[in-house]
Amino acid sequence: MSKLPASLLLALCAVLAPLAQAQSYPNKPMHLVVPFPAGGPTDVFARALSAKLGERLGQTIVIDNKPGAGGAIGADFAARAPADGYTLLLGTSSTHSVAPAFGMKLPYDTVSSFTPIVHVGDAPNLMLVPNDTPAKDVKEWIAYARKNPGKLNYASSGPGTVVQLTAEYLKAEAKVDLTHVAYKGTALAMPDLMSGKVHLLFDSMPTGLPHVQAGHLRALAVTSLKRSPLLPNLPAVSETIPGFESVVWFGLYGPKGLPADVVKRVNTAVNEALQDKDVQATLAKFGIERAGGTPQQFAQVVEKDRAKWKTIITEQKLTLE
């Protein structure tokens, strides 16, 4: 029986090795990079998701918190990892939409440095105003703002944040004149919002809703395209301004060149995990609406989101200063 030439054997090994890896994947613990601090909403959410995802993949998933630079440090770490499916990234609007839309110099390319796997969820904001605001809904608030050009302001958690961009988005679409007042976090803006020194704030459900429920603030709307299933009685801004949508999205990425079989395996497992009641409860706790879908759908969501913020940033002449 003749032996195969060494060159042919090497070629066969090169073809079969990835297939064998995909079939046995995962055969060792995996790492999920969370580009934000431990204990925060993104971290808690990541741990709940990874536990159920690990059950479906039959492996332990270790959370690696690598905060800093608005998520860029963790994203860069994941981008440089081997493309074997054992290091994944929980990306967000900060890492893949807002930063590139502002033209920030990043150590990675948000498109070519990663392999999109799955859209996990979206977190809309609440449109919050003081209780003494003479407007009970978005339409009335826009009319009120137009009657007081330059006299109203809005708070944000700082320049370049989704909170600021959402308010600027509203300014552009509603054609109102508002002054930006930046804080180091929305929590620090709450006292001034309650007292009426600040007239508008877009804040997340977990931090904003308790103040509404306690009667300290009024919620006019939610910023998801449709009413949130978490607050079905609260209108969406889009009911007054058609097409208005502003959410913080979450999704899984791998490094560029991730094998298609690995992408499919993780995508399927995440879609299944999103059906789990415990995961759904954690999502609801942090105001996150589950997503799911294909890698291609996820890539389209991010591309659309990035383009929208780029337009707002350009038209409103926004900077990070």
Domain ranges of the chain: 29-122+247-314, 124-246
Whole-number Å distance between alpha carbons of 226 and 105: 34
Average pLDDT of the residues in 248-265: 97
Q: Answer yes or no: is pLDDT of 11 > 80.
A: no
Quote the crossing angle between the two packed helices 186-195 and 205-213, to the nearest 10°.
30
pLDDT value at position 39? Answer: 86
The percent of residues in the chain predicted with pLDDT above 90, rounded, is 82
The sign of the torsion formed by the CA atoms of 291, 293, 297, 298 equals positive
- The neighbouring-strand residues paired with 153 are 179
Q: Answer yes or no: is pLDDT of 113 > 60.
A: yes
Average pLDDT of the residues in 195-210: 95
Kindly report the number of other CB atoms within 10 A of residue 8's CB atom.
10
SS3 track for 18-44: HHHHHHHCCCCCEEEEECCCCCCHHHH
Selecting from 3.30.1330.10, 1.20.1630.10, 3.40.50.360, 3.40.190.150, what CATH number does the domain 29-122+247-314 have? 3.40.190.150
Q: State in Å, rounded, how far the first CA of the chain is from the last one.
A: 74
Superfamily of domain 124-246: Periplasmic binding protein-like II (3.40.190.10)
For 85, the enclosing helix (H) or strand (E) is none
Q: Answer yes or no: is pLDDT of 237 > 70.
A: yes
Compute CA distances 269 → 225, 256, 311, whole Å.
Answer: 27, 20, 35
| Domains 29-122+247-314 and 124-246 belong to one CATH topology | yes
Instruction: Count CA atoms within 13 Å of residue 64 on its CB side.
Output: 19
Residue pLDDT, tens place only, 31-64: 999 999 998 888 888 998 999 999 999 999 999 9
pTM of the predicted structure, to 2 decimals = 0.86
The count of residues in the chain is: 321
